[in-house]
Amino acid sequence: MTNPLVTRTDCYLRSACVMEFFCRKKKNFRAAVSLTLIFATLLMFQKLTTVDPNIKGDKVKSRWCGPECSSFKRKSIKAVENASQSRGNDLAQVGKPMPKQWDVTRIKCSENSTIKTQAWFRRLNPRFREFVLHRHCRYFPMLLNHPEKCNVSGDVDVLVVVKSVIEEHDRREAVRQTWGKEQEIQGLKIKTLFLLGTPATGKDARNLQALVQYEDRTYGDILQWDFMDTFFNLTLKEVNFLRWFNIYCSGVPFIFKGDDDVFVHTKNLVELIGFRVEENRAENLILGDTIFEAKPIRNHQSKYFIPKELYDRRYPPYLGGGGFLMSSQVARKLFVVSESVELYPIDDVFLGMCLQKLQIVPELHLAFRTFGIIKRKVTPLNREPCFFRNLIVVHKLVPQELMHMWNLVQNEDLSCARQVVID
Ligand SMILES: *[C@@H]1O[C@H](CO)[C@@H](O)[C@H](O)[C@H]1NC(C)=O
Ligand SMILES: *[C@@H]1O[C@H](CO)[C@@H](O)[C@H](O)[C@H]1NC(C)=O
Ligand SMILES: *[C@@H]1O[C@H](CO)[C@@H](O)[C@H](O)[C@H]1NC(C)=O
Ligand SMILES: *[C@@H]1O[C@H](CO)[C@@H](O)[C@H](O)[C@H]1NC(C)=O
């Protein structure tokens, strides 16, 4: 029997190990917040150096994990395979039977005119009026579909799902070339899909549609639904995807869901999955940059403004949508429960509401930075590959920055000085 703590210390240089270690030691959120600060400070002290082949021993390790790590990995992947075998069974346990294919072929979405007569409705601004009038419309026809994506059992271990809009083809291109590349890492097969709606009014719809169809013929990785791609309609992407996943991808154990403008350290992500599988903590897995006790924003200028008429409490814990990881079990439960939750204009919060109904608290993981540090563009951390190397998700990069940082982080010659071990 190996002592898991010893194994972990052996490979503490691996970022995920360090992060996991942090999270494991201090479970409560307050502590986690102060650890974030400590961690950021530690990162400041890291230096960017190149590997000196003369340095021996454990001063600088260019390969982070020892033999313990590789043996653990083999075990993990077996467990993932096991998990995928049992998937078919629990599908039957939740919810009503799913159709064999996407069966929504017509837009059935007329305004709910009974709402119009209500006093609170008249106080809303036009954007929210539009939202509440169509709030009951959930599922839309598909313009581009890929039923074959995860049809073959065991073909996909991690499905990377990226929210994008039709005109951002350069972002999709950057994602395909970097973290969203379809590949196998440490035995886990990764496949990628982009989620799109149709162009919002005022855009050159016909040409954009022709372009995206061409793009999809080239890459075969776009799911498109026939609803307008507006900010308030992002929740439609959420529910239509959950339904799609339940129809077509019952054999996929993990989903990583992200935006098209984030940096994702795919290897660290795979590593994290490995840990969780090894410890049998993968089943109810949903983690990322959890936000607790948030209040709805009442500033009319904000994109996230929500009138009191629509929501008048604190939000349940929810995941910052920049990127999060979940197991297929959670995705399935989310789909079932989502059908009884009224749509909410902010998609991240909507998922939080569904999780609350399931009594699942999304786990805060410090390696997911969908807010925060990166926003202050002056901080040197933004240009520091070692900073990125230790994380899993970092928010808001333009395609060029993403490609550049990806290349730096992949560079084998980049060695980040050892971090202080906290135990
Ligand atoms: C996989 O499942 C088999 C039988 O269902 C079990 O004997 C084996 O220990 C499992 N392997 C892992 C790694 O969980
Ligand atoms: C229309 O709105 C009313 C009042 O909010 C609601 O009771 C009703 O269920 C809605 N109809 C549909 C089809 O969602
Ligand atoms: C999925 O695979 C099954 C058998 O492996 C096949 O019968 C079915 O037609 C496939 N479906 C699609 C949409 O490719
Ligand atoms: C969402 O999409 C539907 C279908 O395209 C559209 O009718 C509706 O106006 C959109 N809602 C918002 C709030 O943009």
pLDDT single digits (tens) 403-419: 777 777 776 655 655 44
Q: Residue 385: its pLDDT value, please?
A: 53
Ligand nearest to the CA of 82: 1
Tell me if 282 CB under 6 Å of ligand 1: no
3-state SS class at 88: helix
Tell me if 147 CB under 6 Å of ligand 3: yes
- Kindly state the tokens that stand for 405: 């940082």
Does pLDDT of 246 surpass 80? yes
Choice between 394 and 289, residue whose per-residue pLDDT is larger = 289
Apex CA 184: angle with CA 271 and CA 289, to 5°? 40
Instruction: Residue 146: count other Cβ atoms within 10 Å of its Cβ.
Output: 17
Q: Residue 5: its pLDDT value, please?
A: 31
User: Tell me: the pLDDT tens digits for 81-98?
Assistant: 555 444 444 444 455 788
Q: What are phi and psi of 122, to 5 degrees?
A: -70, -20
Instruction: Please give the Cα distance from 324 to 402 (Å, whole number).
Output: 18
Does pLDDT of 336 surpass 70? yes
Radius of gyration (C-alpha) of the chain in whole angstroms: 22
CA of 158 to the centre of ligand 4 (A): 31
Residue 187's region, left for phi above 0, alpha for psi from -120 to 50, else beta, is left
Which atom of ligand 1 lies nearest, measured to the CA of 81? 1
Ligand nearest to the CA of 117: 2
Q: Residue 236: its pLDDT value, please?
A: 96
User: Tell me: the pLDDT tens digits for 36-54?
Assistant: 444 444 443 333 323 333 3
Strand partners, 190: 158, 183
Sorted by where each begins, the domain ranges of the chain are 110-138
Tell me if 23 CB under 6 Å of ligand 4: no
Element (H, E) at 255: strand 254-259
> Ligand 3, residues 98, 146, 151, 244: which to mutate, most atoms within 8 A of Cβ?
151
Residue closest to 194 by CA, chosen among 150, 237, 162: 162
User: Tell me: the pLDDT tens digits for 3-39?
Assistant: 333 233 223 333 444 444 333 433 444 444 444 444 4
pTM to 2 decimals? Answer: 0.76
> Ligand 1, residues 71, 78, 82: which to mutate, most atoms within 8 A of Cβ?
82
Q: Report the nearest-CA residue for atom 2 of ligand 2.
A: 115
Packing angle between helix 29-45 and helix 15-25, nearest 10 degrees? Answer: 150
Which residue, chain included where needed, has tokens 């000085």? 417
Tell me if 184 CB under 6 Å of ligand 3: no
Q: Which residues contact 340 (CB under 8 A, 6 or more apart)?
A: 357
Choice between 44 and 207, residue whose per-residue pLDDT is larger = 207
Ligand nearest to the CA of 77: 1
Which atom of ligand 2 lies nearest, measured to the CA of 112? 1
Instruction: Please give the Cα distance from 376 to 387 (Å, whole number).
Output: 15
- Kindly state the tokens that stand for 98: 């799913």
Which residue, chain included where needed, has tokens 């989310």? 334
Q: Residue 10: its pLDDT value, please?
A: 28
| pLDDT interval class at 175 (50, 70, 90) | very high
Tell me if 154 CB under 6 Å of ligand 3: no
Question: Which stretch of 188-192, 234-238, 293-297, 410-414 has the lowest confidence by average pLDDT?
Answer: 410-414
Q: Which residues contact 83 (CB under 8 A, 6 or more apart)?
A: 253, 277, 282, 283
CA of 134 to the centre of ligand 2 (A): 10
Choice between 388 and 243, residue whose per-residue pLDDT is larger = 243
Q: Report the nearest-CA residue for atom 12 of ligand 1.
A: 79
Give, rounded to a whole angstrom, the gap between the first and last alpha carbons of the chain: 21
Instruction: Please give the Cα distance from 22 to 363 (Å, whole number).
Output: 13
Q: Residue 416: its pLDDT value, please?
A: 59
| pLDDT interval class at 324 (50, 70, 90) | very high
Which atom of ligand 3 lies nearest, measured to the CA of 153? 5
Q: Residue 193: its pLDDT value, please?
A: 97
3-state SS class at 23: helix
DSSP one-letter string for 285-325: -EEEEEE-SPPPB--TTSTTB--TTT--SPPPPEEEEEEEE
> Ligand 2, residues 108, 110, 113, 115: which to mutate, most atoms within 8 A of Cβ?
115
Task: Tell me, letter by letter, the H, E, C secondary structure of 180-241.
Answer: CCCEEECCEEEEEEEEEEECCCCCCHHHHHHHHHHHHHHHCCEEEEEEECCHHHHHHHHHHH
3-state SS class at 65: coil
CA torsion sign, 22 to 386 to 173 to 202?
A: positive
* Residues written for the chain: 423
Does pLDDT of 65 surpass 50? no
Query: Per-residue b/e over 401-413, b at no fewer than 16 CB within 10 Å?
Result: ebbebbebbeeee
Tell me if 342 CB under 6 Å of ligand 3: no
Mean pLDDT of all residues in the chain? 75
